[in-house]
C-alpha cells in the first residue's frame, strides 16, 4: 500500500490565529535585548559585514545588475533587526548611512551606473520606445487624414478574440 506524501506547501501547516499570544516569549532574536543600542556601534558592525570580500562582491554584482542601493539597504537593515542586532528605531536611523556604505562599495567596485532610489526604476530605452509609439500613432493619423479617413471614427474591437465589427460599405 502506497503511503501518501504530504504536499510541500501545506496550507494547513500554519500558526493558528492568536498563537503568537500564547507562545513562550523570547523565541525569536528580536524579542531579546538588542546587541547594539548605539547607532555608531551598529554602523561599524554593518560596515565590517559589508566589506567582507564575498559580501562586497555580491553587492557589486547586484548594483551592476540594476538593483537599487535603497533596496539592498532595506534588506540589510531588516536582516539586522530580525537577527536581534538592533531595534527598529536604530535601524531606521541607520538606513541613510547603510545606503551611503553600499554606494561607496559600488564606487570602489567600479560599477559604472547604478540606481540609488527604488523610484529610479524607469529604463530610458523603454521611455524612448513609448515616445516612438506615440510619434508613430501621430504619423498614422496624419496619413489617414490625407486619405480622407478619420482613425478615431473607425470602430474599435473590444478584444483580441472578439468578433470583428461589421463595417459599412462605401458607396462610390
Could you report the per-residue pLDDT of 30-46, keeping only the tens digit for each?
788 888 989 999 999 99
Strand, helix or coil for residue 172: coil
Question: What's the pLDDT at 10?
Answer: 73
pLDDT over 70 at 2, yes or no: no
Question: What's the pLDDT at 139?
Answer: 67
Question: What's the pLDDT at 97?
Answer: 92
Q: Model pTM greater than 0.85?
A: no
* 139/35 Cα distance (integer angstroms): 65
Q: How confident is the model at residue 67 (pLDDT cuts 50, 70, 90)?
A: confident
Percent of the chain clearing pLDDT 90 (strictly above): 27
pLDDT over 70 at 11, yes or no: yes
Question: What's the pLDDT at 44?
Answer: 93
* 55/127 Cα distance (integer angstroms): 34
* 38/80 Cα distance (integer angstroms): 14
Q: Contact, 152 vs 137, CB < 8 A?
A: no
pLDDT over 70 at 136, yes or no: no
Q: What grid cell was written down for 108?
A: 570602489
Amino acid at each position: 500500500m502506497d503511503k501518501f506524501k504530504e504536499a510541500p506547501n501545506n496550507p494547513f501547516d500554519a500558526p493558528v490565529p492568536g498563537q503568537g499570544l500564547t507562545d513562550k516569549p523570547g523565541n525569536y532574536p528580536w524579542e531579546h535585548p538588542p546587541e547594539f543600542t548605539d547607532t555608531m556601534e551598529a554602523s561599524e558592525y554593518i560596515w565590517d559585514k559589508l566589506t567582507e570580500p564575498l559580501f562586497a562582491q555580491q553587492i557589486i554584482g547586484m548594483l551592476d545588475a540594476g538593483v537599487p542601493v535603497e533596496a539592498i539597504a532595506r534588506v540589510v537593515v531588516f536582516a539586522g533587526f530580525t537577527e536581534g542586532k538592533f531595534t527598529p528605531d536604530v535601524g531606521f536611523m541607520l538606513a541613510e548611512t547603510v545606503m551611503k556604505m553600499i554606494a561607496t562599495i559600488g564606487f570602489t567596485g567600479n560599477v559604472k551606473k547604478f540606481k540609488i532610489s527604488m523610484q529610479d526604476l524607469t529604463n530610458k530605452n523603454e521611455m524612448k520606445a513609448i515616445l516612438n509609439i506615440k510619434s508613430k500613432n501621430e504619423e498614422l493619423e496624419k496619413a489617414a487624414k490625407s486619405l480622407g479617413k478619420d482613425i478615431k471614427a473607425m470602430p474599435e474591437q473590444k478584444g483580441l478574440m472578439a468578433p470583428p465589427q461589421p463595417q459599412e460599405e462605401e458607396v462610390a
